[in-house]
Amino acid sequence: MTNDEAMKIRYFFFIVTVVLASCGGVDEKPVTNDKPIEPKVEVPVFNQDSAYSYIESQVAFGPRVTGTEVSDKCAAWLTAKLSQWMDTVAVQKGKVVAYDNTGLNIKNIIGSYLPGNNNRIFLCSHWDSRPYADYDPDKANHRKPIDGANDGASGVGVLLEIARIISTVKPKIGIDIIFFDAEDYGTPGDLQDQTHKEDTWGLGSQFWAKSLHESGYYARYGILLDMVGAENAQFHQEGFSKYYAPDIVRKVWETARSAGFSDYFVMTEGNPITDDHYYINKIANIPTIDIIHTEPGTRGGFFTHWHTMGDTMDKINKNTLYAVGQSLLHVIYGEK
Question: At how many degrees (to 10) do helices 155-166 and 48-61 cross?
Answer: 130
Cβ-in-10-Å burial (0-12, 13-18, 19+) of 72 comes to: middle
Where does the pLDDT of residue 287 fall: very low under 50, low under 70, confident under 90, or very high at 90 and above?
Answer: very high
Integer Rg of the chain from CA: 28
Q: What is the pLDDT at residue 189?
A: 85
Q: Is residue 11 situated within a structural domain?
A: no
Stronger pLDDT, 20 or 42, i.e. the higher one? 42
Q: What is the pLDDT at residue 226?
A: 98
Q: What is the pLDDT at residue 22?
A: 38
Residue 136 has pLDDT above 60, yes or no: yes
Segment 137-181, tens digit of pLDDT? 999 999 999 999 999 999 999 999 999 999 999 999 999 999 999
Q: Is residue 276 situated within a structural domain?
A: yes
Q: What is the pLDDT at residue 294?
A: 96
% the chain with pLDDT above 70: 86
Report the alpha-carbon distance of residue 250 to residue 242 in Å, rounded: 9
Report the alpha-carbon distance of residue 102 to residue 99 in Å, rounded: 7
Residue 127 has pLDDT above 80, yes or no: yes
Question: DSSP readout, 184-253?
Answer: T-PPPGGGHHHH--TT-S-HHHHHHHHS-SSTT---S-EEEEES--BTT--EEE-HHHHHH-HHHHHHHH
Q: Is residue 202 situated within a structural domain?
A: yes
Cβ-in-10-Å burial (0-12, 13-18, 19+) of 65 comes to: buried
Domains: count for the chain: 1
Q: Is residue 108 situated within a structural domain?
A: yes
Mean pLDDT of all residues belonging to the chain: 90
Contact 335, 248 (CB under 8 A): no
Q: Is residue 177 situated within a structural domain?
A: yes
Segment 29-64, tens digit of pLDDT? 344 344 444 446 799 999 999 999 999 999 999 999
Q: Is residue 30 situated within a structural domain?
A: no
Segment 62-88, tens digit of pLDDT? 999 999 999 999 999 999 999 999 999
Q: Is residue 163 situated within a structural domain?
A: yes
% the chain with pLDDT above 90: 83
Tell me the CATH number at 132.
3.40.630.10
Q: Which domain holds residue 276?
A: 57-334
Give me the sign of the Cα torsion angle 288, 293, 299, 304: negative
Q: Is residue 65 situated within a structural domain?
A: yes
Q: What is the pLDDT at residue 26?
A: 37
